[in-house]
Structure 1
Amino acid sequence: MSKTLIRHATVEDADTIVALVQALAIYENEPLSSVKLTAEDIRRDGFGASIRFEALIAELDNEAVGFALYFHNYSTWEGRAGLFVEDLFVLERARGHGLGRQLITALAAIADARGCRRLDLNVLDWNPTREFYHRLGIHHKTEWLPYRMTQPALARLGDAADPAWFPGRPTRL
């Protein structure tokens, strides 16, 4: 019988997380060049002075084969924080061992323990795991449409901000 484990990621998992994100890109039919993430990004933003995300690692027989990367958001209507799952992924060869379910239940336990009122995530419309989420009581929101702005449009719009409103605007990274 295979041994499964869900654990909090550590700084030593930085390279593993990058490799799993690259595997996720392949699963989503995206070119590897679309993944800009580096191990240094993981170390800085997940374990540095200003934590921007947390992650869980899924192991099968002591090998990292999946992950969930998440962070807090905030609901003005609920007046409470929520948990946003940026990515949840298990390598194809490790599927069927319950690791996806263990990851999502661990996230639900974290959210509940922290007083979060909701857990949010996005799923591609073609992803067969949508039915898995439905069975767990995670529902597709049809009335909300996702919008996104990326660089360089983000920088152009930010440059239009009134300098008096944002004095000493930091330089871009």
Structure 2
Amino acid sequence: MSTAEKESIVTIRLAELADIPEVFQMVKELMDYVKLPLNLMIDQETFQKNYSEKAFNCFVAQTPNGSLVGYSAYCQTYSTYEGSMFHLIDLYVRPQQRGSGIGKQLFITTMKKGYELGCKVALFFVLQWNPAVNFYKKLGAINVSEKDNFHIFELESDNFNKLCFE
């Protein structure tokens, strides 16, 4: 099957609450792919609760037989110097569908949502070794850590808790 045929048979739609267990499974697949430990800090129940409370939103890529083969998770954020920003949290396509254009469809659909929300900038993180770096660059993304000399910091759970409860 050609790339165009695969693309045409996949529907990109907003995730429904019933999709969230399968999306959570794909999150675990993504963690495995990027070689992060599978000891997620949240469980499926929390993930589903966060989705129902709109802590994040999600698109899914669905085949005609109902299988979910990818997802993009996103939320709106804010910059004091750029205004409303759009954060692409995850973009994942299952291995057997990679290279078929599904990732591009998910990415563009998700970015259009950010535009509809009035966001001026989209932000996302990609591991340095991940071949997806080239995918994003082809779509016009720039590496701000190179352009603007930014360092990205994180307070991980232990240090976050320690800081907040000392």
Normalised-by-shorter TM-score class: 0.7 to 0.9
The structure with more helix, counted as a fraction of residues:
2
Shift of 1:36: 3.5
Q: Which residue of 2 aligns with 1:8?
A: 14
Could you tell me which amino acid in structure 2 is paired with residue 65 of structure 1? V
Task: State which of 87, 90, 95 in structure 1 corresponds to 2:98.
Answer: 95
Q: Which residue of 2 aligns with 1:38?
A: 43
From 120, 130, 134, the equivalent of 2:133 is 130
Q: Give the aligned partner of residue 113 of structure 1.
A: 116
Amino acid at match of 2:161: A
Q: State how far apart, in whole Å, the 2-side matches of 1:53 and 1:153 are.
A: 24
Structure 1 contact 14–40 (Cα < 8 Å) conserved: no
Instruction: Summarize the alignment of residues 39-118 of structure 1 with structure 2, pairs less than 5 Å apart.
Output: 39-48=44-53, 51-61=54-64, 62-78=66-82, 80-118=83-121
- 1:19-70 CA distances to partner (integer Å, 9 max, x unpaired)? 10111011112332x223322122211113xx21101111234310111111
Counterpart amino acid of residue 74 in structure 1: Y
SS in 2 for 1:152: helix
Assess if the C-alpha contact under 8 Å between 2:70 and 2:92 holds in 1. Answer: yes
Q: Contact conserved, 2:21 with 2:48, CA < 8 A, in 1?
A: no
Unaligned ranges ≥5, structure 1: 161-173
> What is the CA–CA distance in structure 2 between the aligned matches of 1:82 and 1:67, rounded to whole Å?
20
Structure 2: segments with no counterpart, 5+ residues: none
Q: For residues 164 and 150 of structure 2, what CA distance do their matches in structure 1 show?
A: 25
**Alpha-carbon separation, structure 2, partners of 1:66 and 1:37:** 20
Question: Could you say which residue in structure 1 is the equivalent of 2:154?
Answer: 148
Determine if the alignment matches structure 1 residue 29 to structure 2 residue 35: yes
Structure 1 segments, 4+ long, off by >4 Å, are none
- The number of residue pairs the alignment matches comes to 156
* Counterpart Cα distance in 2 of 1:158 and 1:35: 21
Partner residue in 2 for 1:163: none
Is the contact made by 2:86 and 2:122 (CA closer than 8 Å) also made in structure 1? Answer: yes
TM-score (normalised: structure 1): 0.85
Q: Does the aligned pair in 2 maintain the 1:66–1:90 contact within 8 Å?
A: yes
- Greater relative contact order: 1 or 2 (C-alpha under 8 angstroms, separation 6 or more)? 2
Q: Is the 8 A contact 1:60 1:94 kept in 2?
A: no
Q: Deviations over 1:97-133 (max 9, x none)?
A: 2111011101111111111011100000000011110
Query: CA–CA distance in 2 between the matches of 1:26 and 1:159?
Result: 32
Q: Secondary structure at the match of 1:145?
A: coil
Aligned CA-pair RMSD: 1.4
Length-normalised TM-score, structure 2? 0.88
* 1:18 corresponds to 2:24: yes
**For 1:122, what is the secondary structure of its paired residue?**
coil
